[in-house]
Amino acid sequence: MSRITGVRGMNDISPTESATWHFVEATAREVLRCYGYREMRPPLVERTELFRRSVGEATDIVEKEMYTFADRNGDSLSLRPECTASCVRAAVEHGWLRAGGQRIWTIGPMFRYERPQKGRYRQFHQLDVEALGFSGPDVDAELILICARLFARLGLGRLRLQLNSLGSRSSQARYRDALVRYFAHHRDRLDEDSERRLATNPLRILDSKDPAMQELIDCAPRITDFLDDESAAHLQGLTDMLDRAGTSWTLNARLVRGLDYYTGPVFEWQTEELGAQNAVCGGGRYDHLIEDIGGSGAPATGFAMGLERIVALLEQQSLAPPPPCPDAYLVAVGGEAQREAHRLAETLRDRVDSLSLTVDAAGGSFRTKLKRADRSGARYALILGDAEVRDARVGVKALRDESEQRSMRQSALAEFLRG
């Protein structure tokens, strides 16, 4: 039979890698608890209209990267390419904001039909954090400080914070006009994609990776020269707070982000260690999205972190924890011993808190079974033969040092393993 393989760009997380994922997830969970954020879990599938209206019709994500399908009713649904829209949809739908601002987070897979390469996948995972209903720069600062604390707890250094402001909608409109005038004047130097974006989404031209266009982009008008007083003051308030908290940042007037809902400050954490896919986290303020999705207007801000990229950095910097090993590995030899093994194992699990005990399940000789015990990484092999069953005893062999195998009463084993 031919072998069925996984879908391109959608990866398996192996039993060896999952310890690193657990480490990242547990650390994130703990850091977010420290800041008073609460977890929510939106579905993976939403109405396509949600992403059209939030992420934006003229973005790469909506134009060419969504997994969109009609369900059996004919409704157009999409696998979520991101989950800010879902968090906002849920908050509006369930009236969460009636109780005041909401600090929420969620974690899980997102789907984008991008060209897969190192660090860029079609199914990838984000830690997504959203602060809904807060207007001040203090909450933007809080989100950035959460990222910094999470990186520090994971042991990750060398990440750079890039900041920009996309300004209010009126600042953005004035900037857009200036950009269109500028790029239209240099139309002959635009590549095909940028030519198209000139009509649909001129800000995205700034994000072009085409080397031939870099000089043109470098000389383009800068958003920071178009900010109205309020947007400029908001950015200033944010940078002041970051300075006081000792978090360094760089202003990057070319940082435009790939989603249309942003207004005000936006940011990205970048690394030089992952090649082209250098953004490990991105976010910003989106003060109109709640209203655009049908809620009564409220400001909001948030970020999402790409977990594959965080895991890759941990592995690259040798910070990934080793895969967990069982404390003990039970080897049963003989018919009666094999029938008895699970009873003994269950008793031990009842009596020793958080004991990790593997019961050997494959056949083979005693020697083979002991080899498997050793390969499991367990500290002890517990050896149960028919004679041990008869005498209510068990053999205990230390696998990580040279000490002698000994025989022990089964009733003493729990105490021994606890020690």
Task: Write out the residues near ligand HAM by the rule CB under 6 A.
Answer: 82, 84, 112, 114, 120-121, 124, 126, 128, 130, 258-259, 279-284, 302-304, 306, 308-309
Task: Tell me how far, at minimum, the Cβ of 120 lies from ligand HAM, in Å.
Answer: 4
DSSP 82-141: -SHHHHHHHHHHTTGGGGS-EEEEEEEEEE-----BTTB-SEEEEEEEEEES--SHHHHH
Distance CA 389, CA 257 (A): 66
Task: Tell me how far, at minimum, the Cβ of 259 lies from ligand HAM, in Å.
Answer: 6
Nearer to ligand HAM, 316 or 407 (CB): 316
Please classify residue 343 by burial: count the beta carbons closer than 10 Å to its beta carbon, then call 0-12 exposed, 13-18 middle and 19+ buried: exposed
Nearer to ligand HAM, 121 or 151 (CB): 121
Nearer to ligand HAM, 265 or 385 (CB): 265
Distance CA 205, CA 1 (A): 48
Distance CA 404, CA 103 (A): 56
Nearer to ligand HAM, 258 or 299 (CB): 258
- C-alpha of 142 from chain center: 18
Amino acid at 295: G
Task: Tell me how far, at minimum, the Cβ of 115 lies from ligand HAM, in Å.
Answer: 9
| Token duo for residue 101 | 């601002």
Task: Tell me how far, at minimum, the Cβ of 77 lies from ligand HAM, in Å.
Answer: 19
Hey, is 208 helix, strand or coil? coil
Residue 222's closest CA among 258, 263, 251? 251
Task: Tell me how far, at minimum, the Cβ of 354 lies from ligand HAM, in Å.
Answer: 34
Distance CA 214, CA 111 (A): 30
Nearer to ligand HAM, 258 or 395 (CB): 258
Nearer to ligand HAM, 55 or 378 (CB): 55
DSSP one-letter code for 159: -
Task: Tell me how far, at minimum, the Cβ of 86 lies from ligand HAM, in Å.
Answer: 10
Residue 149's closest CA among 21, 27, 273? 27
Task: Tell me how far, at minimum, the Cβ of 11 lies from ligand HAM, in Å.
Answer: 10
Nearer to ligand HAM, 143 or 348 (CB): 143
Distance CA 59, CA 197 (A): 9
What is the phi/psi pair of residue 314, to 5°?
A: -60, -45
Hey, is 153 helix, strand or coil? helix
Nearer to ligand HAM, 285 or 393 (CB): 285
Nearer to ligand HAM, 42 or 302 (CB): 302
Residues 6+ apart with CB under 8 A from 254: 164, 206, 207, 217
Q: Are 264 and 231 in contact (CB under 8 A)?
A: yes
Nearest-CB residue to ligand HAM? 306
Hey, is 387 helix, strand or coil? helix
| Token duo for residue 324 | 């967990």
Task: Tell me how far, at minimum, the Cβ of 181 lies from ligand HAM, in Å.
Answer: 28
What is the phi/psi pair of residue 40, to 5°?
A: -130, 160
Task: Tell me how far, at minimum, the Cβ of 110 lies from ligand HAM, in Å.
Answer: 7
